[in-house]
Structures are given as structure tokens and as C-alpha cells.
Chain A
Amino acid sequence: MDEAITLSVRDLSTSFFSEKGEVKAVDHVSFDVPHGSIVGLVGESGCGKSMTARSIMKLLKYPGKIVGGEILLEGRDLAPLGEGDMSLIRGEEIAMIFQEPMTSLNPVVPVGKQVQEAILQHRKISREEAKKKVLHMLEIVGISEPEKRYRCYPHELSGGLRQRVMIAMAMICRPKLLIADEPTTALDVTVEAQILELLRELRDTIGTSIILISHNLGVIAQLCDYVYVMYAGQVVEQAPVLELFDNPSHPYTRGLMDSVRSLRRGDEKLSTIPGAVPNLLRLPQGCRFAPRCPMAGEDCRRCPPELSRVGEGHLARCPYARR
């Protein structure tokens, strides 16, 4: 086992068993999070990136279930663990922040107490000591007047402040891994930049590895070291961030980048990817992107492509990937 890898996900598959059949939300996804790095998962809504995150935390909602694969946290497989064992890991070794800071905090409990709860859950320390640590953590995440904010209720804080509280809550036990699920999607742009900067700082000072989930390529480009592009429950391309942006190889990734570039250039007609994400209940037989792909040939529609090497640390799930 590589010492420098914090989290290694191998062939993770998560399905939802609905009345209409099995929905493969995550299908044989593998990725590594090296120690102290920020790894991005990017893709459209419904591509399985949030479900991947929830699978790692084992916070899937009924009727979701992990059906295969390994989740290796520093070599220890989390997939077979039960609720009791997971509750020792959640918050202590892996923490998570969510998309909606508005609804992710309990409205009837002061925010300081909610952060304190996270540390009291895992450390045998007195309440006063815990409070001191909370105040310190609130300061670290850039909340001014922590003593005063400690007693505030969520509705008394702005969206950005609430997300800072969420980050403080996640980081207070100094976890090995932080999963940030669209942490800035609900915030405005200036606050977004501050929060991203804060995540980077925390990675540098505390050394926590981060999985950053976003549909926003700009956010990914700013922060990540390594990127996995997901489509319909699969990883379709993976590469170091610079390599991916310099040399996008999968037609889906190129489509995403084109639409961003065309937006930047201010084209009259926005470049988009035609069609829509396939229904996960009725996936195409061959390549899942084939129905929307400008390059798809007959063999693409027949047999599903494997991830193949395009460059140094760069894989793509397409036989026509541009080298």
C-alpha cells in the first residue's frame, strides 16, 4: 500500500434499487487522493459525483446501497463497516461539507454548540476546553468576533459565514480527508473565492487532503491538483489539472471546455453539448456518451470503451481520445 495515498477508491459501485429497477448511480469508479492534495470530481448534475462522496461517507439515503468495490482510507477498507464503526470515522478521519449552508445547520441550535458537538463526539475533553478549541477554530476559518458568533443561530449569519462554520465543524478534529460537495455553489462569486482560498489554506496548514466536488470547471482549475471527470456514473477522463486543461482528450471534457470558452469569448451562440444525460435506468449499450458524441462511430455504440492511457497520468474512456 502506498503510504502517500490518503484515500484510494477501487471499483466503487453504488446503486439505487427503485421500483423501476436498479439505478447505477456510481459504476466502477476508481480514484486516488494523494496525501495533502486536492482532487476534483467534475461533471453535470446527476453524473454521480455527489453519490460517490456519500458512498465514501456511507451516508447514502434509502434505497441507495454500495454494491461493490473498496474504499481504502490509508489502507483500511470502509466498505464493509457498519454504522457504529463509521460513526467513529465520520468527523474524526473523514469530514464533509455540503452544498447548502442555509439548510445544513440545525436552525434551533447555536452554531458554536454545533461545532463543539463535533469535537466532543470524538475527544474526551471538558466542555470549556472544547469551547476554547471551537473559538480558536472559528478564528482560523476567518470568523471575526468568534465569542459573539458562537452564540448566534444559523439564521443570524450570512451564507458565507455559515459555510465557514460548516468548514470549522468539519476541520475541528483535523481529519485526514475533507469532502467538499459543491461548497460554493450556493454562494456569490466574491464569497466563493474567499471560501476556496480558505480550503487551500487549510490544506496547507493542517495537511488535510480534499476531495472537491463541483460542476464548475473554473473552481476546479483554481484549486485542484488532479481532476476526475465523471459522466453517467463513470469516470470518463482523469489527469493532473494542467494537463487536463491544456489537453482535454475525451469528447465530453472538450465539450464542457468549449462551452466555458465560448462563454468567456462572449460568442453570440453559446457552444453546448447537444442532447441530455442518459437515463440511468436505460443506459446505452456501448459508450454512455455516444448518443451525444460528435465522433461516435458504430463500434462506440456497440461495445463500451475502457479507460486508456493518453499521456503521463492521463487516462480517457474513449478510443478516439486526442493524444
Chain B
Amino acid sequence: MLLNIGKRILQALVVLIGVALLIFIMLRIVPGNAIITMMGEHANPEAIERMTAELGLDKPFYVQFYTYITGALRGDFGTSYSLHVSVSSLIAQAFPNTVCLALSAAVVAWLIGIVCGIIAAIKENSLLDRLFMGFSLFGVSMPVFMVAMVLQYFFAYKLGWFDISGVSDWRGFVLPAIALGWNSAGSIARLTRSTLVEVLQEDYIDTARAKGRRRMGVILFHALRNSMLPVITMMAVQLSSLLSGAVICETIFSINGIGRLAVDAISGRDIPLLQGTILLSTALVILGNLVADCLYSVLDPRVRKGD
């Protein structure tokens, strides 16, 4: 097991370096010049040249990449072109906000999603089931910006319960968390329902009932554990994508998170900052999958056996 995890971490590192290389290449082949964007179109050509040399952009590509990677491995992702501070400190500032938002969105999504999914599965084909599944379809298909704006309109503008934007205290996270979690709740509810309905048809459910287990016991002890396996994978992947920044949600609610940082980096052609945020997202997604795999092998003995 430990050996396996070690192997996976090494693999993840290779993937990360590969992704870094890809980002590096892509950001250099997109049209436009970061230096010109930074200094203005009418800047003095000598000044541009000086700046290029200062940032090391005149060196061959592989030297630039080597410098970047060795720096990144030490935790140094370069200096932001536009803000002139180190990328790592910018990320360190923005990340806590994103973590707060992601965790609260995840809690909303998972609580609502799992509870609704379980109820829908137990009451299969009932009115409640149809109601929940209809709602979850809403959740899956409604874009975040729409939910966000509807919430803002009613709960912040009309009722005045929350601030329209910005996060001065925990209340600032309520609306963004619902807007962001809404979507995940829908997919979690649907997956929970479908796997649970399937598991409830299994023979070992009959065995459990034949032992004299009551309905709730059968569901909690036997069915849920089996049906949660795919749901947990989905949850881990969702969490990692939530953590890597919710661009739209953070923008609408003016939260200084990773998503906002990435958007600013794109509009300002701030290559080091953009590289940093993308690399962070990639690392989080890989980490999320790794955690999902580990959890899976804890919960399912058949996977453990395969080690």
C-alpha cells in the first residue's frame, strides 16, 4: 500500500513537470508580447530589450524552462510581471479565500446531494424522488453565474441578508458557497441515487434482510458503504477542482481567490502568475485523484487485494 502511494506520488511529479512544460510552451506561442503589454505599445525599444534581458526572456527556451522548474521545485515561481511581487506570496494570499469557498461549497453540495440521493433511492419512483431528481437536474444544468445572480438579487439585494459582494466575515461566503455547491449537489445527488438503487438490487441485500436486519440497518450498514464508492471518487475530484479556483463565482462575488488571480493574470499577460496558478490547479487535481484512490482502497477490500 505505502509503496503504491509512493509510486503514485512519483508519477504525479512527472505529470506535473510535463504539464509545466506544456504551459511554458503554450504561453510562449500565443500571439502577443508580454513585455509590450506591460510597458505600453509606445515604449522605447531599448527599454523593451533591457526588460527582456532582465526577465531572462532572451535566453534559449530550454534554459528558461530549466531555470523555472528548478525554481518551482524550491517553491519559487518567479515574480509577477504586473504586481512585482513573488507569485508564491500572491498565491499564499489568495489561497485561503479559495479554500474557504471551496470547503463551504463542498459541504453544501455533499450534504444536500447525499441526503437527497439517499432519500430518492429509498423512495424510488415516488413523488419525492421525482421532485429531488427534477431539482438536481436544475442543479446540474444551471450555470453558476445564473444561480449566483439569482441569489444575489433575492438574498442580498431584495432581502438584504447578505452583502452583495466581498467577504468581510463568514456571511460573505454563504451565497457564493450555495451558488458554487448547487451544481455539485446536483451531480452528487444523481450519482448517489443511481448507485444506491443498483446496490439495493444486489443479492447481499436479500441476505441481510434474511438475517432479520431492518430496513434502515440494511441501508446504512450494507447498501450505503457499497454505493458510496463511486460517489467518493466524484467528491474528491470535485473538491480538487473547487480548490483550484472558481473563476466565475469568485469574480461575481469579488472574492480574492485563485480563480480571480488567474483571470487577472490572463488579462495582464502576467506569465509567471498564470503559470503558477495553473500549476497549482494541476497539482490539486492530481492530489484529489490520489486521495480518491487511497480512500477507495480503504473502503473496498477488493482494490486493496490488487496492490
Do A104 and B211 contact each other (CB < 8 Å), given the known contacts A153-B301, A156-B305? no
Residues of chain B with a CB closer than 8 A to A117's CB: 208, 211, 213, 221
From A87, A90, A121, A155, B305 is in contact (CB under 8 Å) with A155
Closest B residue to A156 by beta carbon equals B305
From A91, A98, A107, B206 is in contact (CB under 8 Å) with A98
With an 8 A cutoff between CB atoms, is A100 at the interface? yes
Residues of B184-217 at the interface with A, using a CB-CB cut-off of 8 Å, are: 202-204, 206-215
Are A98 and B207 within 8 A (Cβ)?
Answer: yes
Residues of chain A with a CB closer than 8 A to B204's CB: 103-107
Closest B residue to A90 by beta carbon equals B212
Residues of A99-114 at the interface with B, using a CB-CB cut-off of 8 Å, are: 100, 103-109, 114
Residues of chain A with a CB closer than 8 A to B225's CB: 106, 108-109
Residues of chain A with a CB closer than 8 A to B211's CB: 90-91, 95, 117-118, 121, 169
From B206, B208, B212, A92 is in contact (CB under 8 Å) with B212
Are A108 and B212 within 8 A (Cβ)?
Answer: no
With an 8 A cutoff between CB atoms, is A303 at the interface? no
With an 8 A cutoff between CB atoms, is A96 at the interface? yes
From B203, B212, B221, B302, A87 is in contact (CB under 8 Å) with B212
Are A59 and B305 within 8 A (Cβ)?
Answer: no
With an 8 A cutoff between CB atoms, is A145 at the interface? no
Are A118 and B302 within 8 A (Cβ)?
Answer: no
Residues of chain A with a CB closer than 8 A to B212's CB: 87-92, 118, 121-122
Closest A residue to B125 by beta carbon equals A62
With an 8 A cutoff between CB atoms, is B36 at the interface? no
Q: CA A90 – CA B215 in complex, angstroms? A: 13
Are B226 and A106 within 8 A (Cβ)?
Answer: yes
With an 8 A cutoff between CB atoms, is A275 at the interface? no
Residues of chain A with a CB closer than 8 A to B305's CB: 153, 155-156
With an 8 A cutoff between CB atoms, is A12 at the interface? no
With an 8 A cutoff between CB atoms, is B222 at the interface? yes
B220-256 Cβ-contact flags toward A at 8 Å (1 or 0)? 0110011000000000000000000000000000000
With an 8 A cutoff between CB atoms, is B264 at the interface? no
With an 8 A cutoff between CB atoms, is A83 at the interface? yes
Are A108 and B300 within 8 A (Cβ)?
Answer: yes
Residues of chain B with a CB closer than 8 A to A51's CB: none
Are A57 and B213 within 8 A (Cβ)?
Answer: no
Are A90 and B209 within 8 A (Cβ)?
Answer: yes
With an 8 A cutoff between CB atoms, is B299 at the interface? yes
Q: CA A84 – CA B212 in complex, angstroms? A: 9
Do A91 and B210 contact each other (CB < 8 Å), given the known contacts A104-B203, A105-B204, A106-B226? yes
Do A153 and B302 contact each other (CB < 8 Å), given the known contacts A98-B203, A98-B206? yes
Closest B residue to A58 by beta carbon equals B209
Closest B residue to A173 by beta carbon equals B212
Residues of chain A with a CB closer than 8 A to B299's CB: 108
Residues of chain A with a CB closer than 8 A to B206's CB: 59, 98, 104
Q: CA A170 – CA B222 in complex, angstroms? A: 17
Q: How far is the CB of B156 from chain A (nearest CB, A)?
A: 45
Closest A residue to B228 by beta carbon equals A108
Q: CA A170 – CA B302 in complex, angstroms? A: 25
Q: CA A155 – CA B301 in complex, angstroms? A: 9
Do A103 and B202 contact each other (CB < 8 Å), given the known contacts A153-B302, A155-B302? yes
From A59, A91, A106, B222 is in contact (CB under 8 Å) with A106
Are B207 and A104 within 8 A (Cβ)?
Answer: yes
Q: How far is the CB of A180 from chain B (nearest CB, A)?
A: 12
Closest B residue to A169 by beta carbon equals B211
Q: CA A42 – CA B50 in complex, angstroms? A: 94
From B210, B214, B300, A57 is in contact (CB under 8 Å) with B210
A294-311 Cβ-contact flags toward B at 8 Å (1 or 0)? 000000000000000000
Q: CA A59 – CA B213 in complex, angstroms? A: 12
With an 8 A cutoff between CB atoms, is A166 at the interface? yes
Residues of chain B with a CB closer than 8 A to A105's CB: 204, 207
Q: How far is the CB of A248 from chain B (nearest CB, A)?
A: 33
Q: CA A96 – CA B204 in complex, angstroms? A: 12
Do A107 and B302 contact each other (CB < 8 Å), given the known contacts A90-B209, A91-B211? yes
From B210, B213, B214, B301, A84 is in contact (CB under 8 Å) with B214
Residues of chain B with a CB closer than 8 A to A90's CB: 209-212
Are A83 and B214 within 8 A (Cβ)?
Answer: yes
Do A83 and B207 contact each other (CB < 8 Å), given the known contacts A108-B301, A155-B302, A155-B305? no
Are A121 and B203 within 8 A (Cβ)?
Answer: no
Q: How far is the CB of A118 from chain B (nearest CB, A)?
A: 4
Q: CA A34 – CA B90 in complex, angstroms? A: 82
Closest B residue to A170 by beta carbon equals B210
Q: CA A122 – CA B202 in complex, angstroms? A: 23
Quick one: which of A103, A108, A155 has the most chain B CB within 10 A? A108
- A106-B225, A117-B208 known; 14 other A-B pairs, CB under 8 Å? A90-B209, A90-B211, A91-B210, A98-B206, A98-B207, A103-B204, A106-B226, A107-B226, A107-B302, A109-B221, A117-B221, A121-B211, A153-B301, A153-B302
- In the assembled complex, 28 residue pairs joining A and B whose CB atoms fall closer than 8 Å, in A order, are A57-B210, A83-B215, A84-B214, A87-B209, A90-B211, A90-B212, A91-B211, A91-B212, A98-B206, A103-B204, A104-B203, A104-B206, A106-B204, A106-B207, A106-B208, A106-B222, A106-B225, A107-B301, A109-B221, A109-B222, A117-B208, A117-B213, A117-B221, A118-B212, A122-B212, A156-B305, A166-B207, A169-B207
Nearest 6 A/B pairs, CB to CB: A91-B212, A91-B211, A153-B301, A103-B203, A90-B212, A118-B211
